[in-house]
Amino acid sequence: MASDAGAPLPSAAGGSAAPAPAPRANARPAGSFKFSTFVIIFLGMLGLLMLIDTGTRNAITNWLGNYHNPSGWLYVAIGFNSSYLLVTMALAGAIEMVITALAYNYTTDWIKAAKVQKWSSAFRKVQMAAFRSGKKDRIDELKPFQQRLTRMSSEVSIAQFKGMAITYFMLIVIYSWVGGVIGAAPNAVVHLTSTTTLNLNSTVLGYFPYWFFLFSLYTVPLSFVFRRFLKHWWLARYEEEHLRTGDATGTTPSSPS
């Protein structure tokens, strides 16, 4: 986390805050190359290319495998020779949910996000009090803190965009692959019950296939549930570790929330 994350905001009375701590000696220089950022940007651009270029999309999905190309590694793992399409869809959805949730959790600093949200709410109250007082010096004193909050909010937003880039890429890849597997399957009719069958390639309103709605029915909501579970797990782990550190040093660390 950035060093600004621990700096307090001014009080409503307009008192000055403690100076921000000095930057760490081993902090990464601004503008330095980060391989993880490069990979995330590359995946985001590749996802965009797959979305607008059918040839690229088909090439990647064929590489992952289908009934006509059974050697693709993903088809070998969960394709089941297109005999169990519902199972294949469920496993593909699980892979997409796990990877996107882990990526979002990895790229997002939940502690900084919580602090930005809490401090922004407190800062608005202080700022409104300063405006109502009509004192220009009090308003000017708040500008450094406003700039600090803006910078921290930008850092949180950029981190969330990184997670969204990976999510965007995985959605396009998995949806395209599932559609390719079902489209290439010799028989896309599945049994929902003992007496009810459904052709996954049949369309709704002449455009959207049934498999798209069936696949989205559980992947979209469960992805949000799993992402929220990871967030709370990470915050609980953070709190436990810092409480343990506080017990060892004789201090009481503040709650991450």
pLDDT (tens digit, 9 = 90+) per residue, 29-81? 555 667 878 888 888 899 999 999 999 999 999 999 999 999 999 999 999 99
List the structure tokens of 174.
Answer: 């998995």
Instruction: Work out the mean pLDDT of the chain and round it to a whole number.
Output: 81
- pLDDT at position 19, please? 44
Q: How many CB atoms lie within 10 A of CB 185?
A: 21
Provide the residue range defining the domain that includes 96. Answer: 35-109+157-247
Domain count, the chain: 1
Tell me the β-bridge partners of 190: 198
| 26 domain-assigned | no
The values of phi and psi at residue 205, to 5°, are 60, 25
Inter-residue contact 181 to 82 (CB < 8 Å): yes
Q: State how far the Cα of 104 lies from the Cα of 151, in Å rounded to an integer.
A: 20
Residue 179's pLDDT band, with cuts at 50, 70 and 90, is very high
| 208 domain-assigned | yes
Read off the pLDDT of residues 201-223 as tens digits, 9 standing for 90 and up.
999 877 889 999 999 988 888 88
| 66 domain-assigned | yes
Percentage, residues of the chain above pLDDT 90: 33
Q: State how far the Cα of 9 lies from the Cα of 148, in Å rounded to an integer.
A: 10
Inter-residue contact 219 to 100 (CB < 8 Å): no
| 182 domain-assigned | yes
* pLDDT(1) > 80: no
| 72 domain-assigned | yes
CA angle at residue 90 from 86 to 91, to 5 degrees? 120
| 253 domain-assigned | no
| 30 domain-assigned | no
Amino acid (1-letter code) at residue 118: K
